[in-house]
Amino acid sequence: MHPEVSIIIPTLNEARSIGAALGAAARAGGSVELIVVDGGSTDGTAEAARAAGARVVAAERGRGAQLHAGARAARGRALWFLHADTLAPEGGADAIVAALADPRVAGGNFSVRFDGEARAARFLTWLYPQLRRLGLCYGDSGIFVRREAYERAGGFKPFPIFEDLELLRALWRQGRVVHLAAEVVTSSRRFEGRSFTWTFTRWSFMQALYWLGVHPNRLGRMYAPIRGRQKT
């Protein structure tokens, strides 16, 4: 039997966070399967994922490549892509099934709350709804997609960055991309222990370069120093 929703999580050295992510995903309701796509972790991530009940798929390192490998291995009628440091809302899978009951809907995403009380977390939680009005929805918002729409879109491109925007642009040509009010909670660790202003300025500059046509592979080489620690 095919599950209603396949939850796909790319990882690279995420042993400390993958258990919580999979625990939240398992409480998302409905008929789900949990898939972790590992890019060569050396810290026991794959073992921790299996212990938490996930099927582990090995793939070439890189977020776009890993997400696409997970989609190819998935059996669900809908695909839900989450980051390893993102917690799914309870009932999130049921909400996806309800949204996709409308045949005009190709996919969608969730509201985002960044964890912690730091100024950066509060600012980003405020900023994401504003970006959404501009058509900017990122992978940490829990993108989901109807399987047929994903296949028609050609899936995630093997890019290290902005693979999420590339997919969404393809989905908009197929149908509606809806926003669900339920919140995913994602880590603000990328912005901890460094100048938030500098990090955010560099990120905004990269976003502008992307819209000007700079290839994501080139931008990916700029992204690693911003992340600090590895995050897929």
Does 212 fall in a domain? no
Question: What pLDDT does residue 231 have?
Answer: 44
Beta-sheet pairing, 32-38 with 5-11: parallel
Does 220 fall in a domain? no
Which residues form the domain of 158? 5-190
Does 85 fall in a domain? yes
Question: What pLDDT does residue 228 have?
Answer: 44
Does 232 fall in a domain? no
Please tell me the distance from the alpha carbon of residue 110 to that of residue 181, in angstroms, as a whole number.
6
Does 200 fall in a domain? no
Does 202 fall in a domain? no
- Ramachandran bin of 44, using left for φ above 0, alpha for ψ from -120 to 50, beta for the remaining angles: left
Torsion of CA 22, 25, 29, 30, to 10 degrees: -80
| Cβ within 8 Å of residue 51, ≥6 positions away | 19
Question: What pLDDT does residue 26 have?
Answer: 94
Question: What pLDDT does residue 117 have?
Answer: 77
Does 199 fall in a domain? no
Tell me how many domains the chain contains: 1
CATH number at residue 172: 3.90.550.10
Per-residue pLDDT tens digits of the chain, which is 232 residues long? 789 999 999 999 999 999 999 999 999 998 999 999 999 999 999 999 999 999 999 999 989 999 999 999 999 999 999 999 999 999 999 999 999 999 999 999 999 999 987 888 888 899 999 988 887 889 999 999 999 999 999 999 998 889 999 999 999 999 999 999 999 999 877 666 567 777 788 888 888 898 888 888 888 877 654 444 434 4
Q: Is 197 helix (H, G, I), strand (E, B) or coil?
A: helix
Q: At residue 55, what are phi and psi to the nearest 5 degrees?
A: -85, 130
Does 215 fall in a domain? no
Question: What pLDDT does residue 136 have?
Answer: 81
C-alpha 128 chain-centroid distance:
14
